[in-house]
Structure 1
Amino acid sequence: MAPEVHTEGEKYTIEWDDDIGTLIHTWTAFASGEAFREGCNDLLAAVEERNATKMIVDTSNVKAHDEADKQWLQTEWTPKTVEAGVQATAMVRSDSVISEMEMKEMSENMPDDADGGPEALITDDMAEARDWMADQ
C-alpha cells in the first residue's frame, strides 16, 4: 500500500506508511529558520496525532543544516519527540561526505536509547531505513 500523505508543505511532505507503522518526513528542498522549524513541528504534531512511535526523516535532498537549526533540534525539538513517545528514528541523508559528517555530529549530540532516547539509524538508503523500521 502506498503511504498516505498527512501534510504537504512547501519544502516537505509528511506521510503515514501503514505497512511499517511509520511517519515519513521528506524534505524536498533546503529550509532554515522558521521554515525549518515549521516542518519539524508539523512532524511532531503528526507524531502526536497518530500516536506514532516510529519516524523516518529523509534529508537526502538537503546537503547541510544551519548551525542554529541543529542546536534547536538537539535542545528543543528532539526531547519533545521523545516525550511524545517516539522510540525509533531513521535518518536518510544524502550520499555525500559532508552530509555523513553532519549527521554523525548531530547524532552524537542527541540522546540515544541508553539515555532514554529513541533507537536510531543513519543511512543514505531509504530501502534500508524502511527495512530497519519494519523490524522496530
Structure 2
Amino acid sequence: MSEIALETESYGAIYLDSEVPCIIIRWFGFANSEQLHYLMNATLDYYIAECRHRPGPLGWIADSRGLGAIKPNDQQWLHTDWNPRTYAAGVRYIAIVEAESVFGKISAQQYVTNVMQSTEYTFYTRAVPTLEEAKEWLKEVLATAPNPN
C-alpha cells in the first residue's frame, strides 16, 4: 500500500498517497462538530504543505465508508467556510468513497448537492464504491489536469 499516515485520531485519519497523487481523509465513524472541523482543517493544511513541493496537481479522496451523520450546521460550515478555502488552496478533484451507513450516505449526498449548487467554487467530484476506484479516477483526471497552484 502506498499510503503514508500523516495523522490518526479515533474518529478519522489523514493519509498521503504519492502514487496517485492525493491526500486522503478517512472517517472511522461519527465525528462531533469540533472533531469534524479539526480533521477537515488539518487535512487541508497537509494538502497545502504537500502542494508547496509538488510539481503537478494533487487530488483529494474522502473515504466516507465509515462516515456518520454530519449535522446541518456542519454542512453549512463546509459549504460556506471550508469549501471556499479549499478551492482557494487549489483543490479541484474530489473522489468520494461511498459511505456504508445510511447517515453517512445522506451526509455525503448533501455535501455533493451543496458543491453542485455553489457559484463560488467548482469541484469535480465522483462518488465510487471502493477506494481503488477513487484512486484510479484521480490518476486518470490528474494525468491531464492543469496545476491550479
Residue 107 of structure 1 corresponds to: 112
Q: Mark the runs of 5 or more structure 1 residues left unpaired by the alignment.
A: none
Write the distance in 1 (CA, Å) between the matches of 2:71 and 2:119. Answer: 28
Residue 25 of structure 1 corresponds to: 25
Normalising by structure 2, report the TM-score: 0.80
Whether 1:38 and 2:43 are equivalent positions in the alignment is no
Aligned residues: 136
Whether 1:64 and 2:69 are equivalent positions in the alignment is yes
Per-residue CA deviation, residues 84-129 of structure 1 (Å, 9 max, x unaligned), is: 0012111112245554343223212115799642211112321211
CA contact (8 A) 1:32 1:69 kept: no
Q: Mark the runs of 5 or more structure 2 residues left unpaired by the alignment.
A: 52-56, 142-149
Residue range with higher mean Cα deviation, 125-134 or 2-11: 2-11
1:117 to 117, 122, 126: 122
Amino acid at match of 2:126: L
Q: What percentage of aligned pairs have identical amino acids?
A: 24
Whether 1:48 and 2:48 are equivalent positions in the alignment is yes
**Runs (4+) of structure 1 moved beyond 4 Å?**
111-116
Normalising by structure 1, report the TM-score: 0.87
CA contact (8 A) 1:90 1:121 kept: yes
Residue range with higher mean Cα deviation, 117-126 or 99-108: 99-108
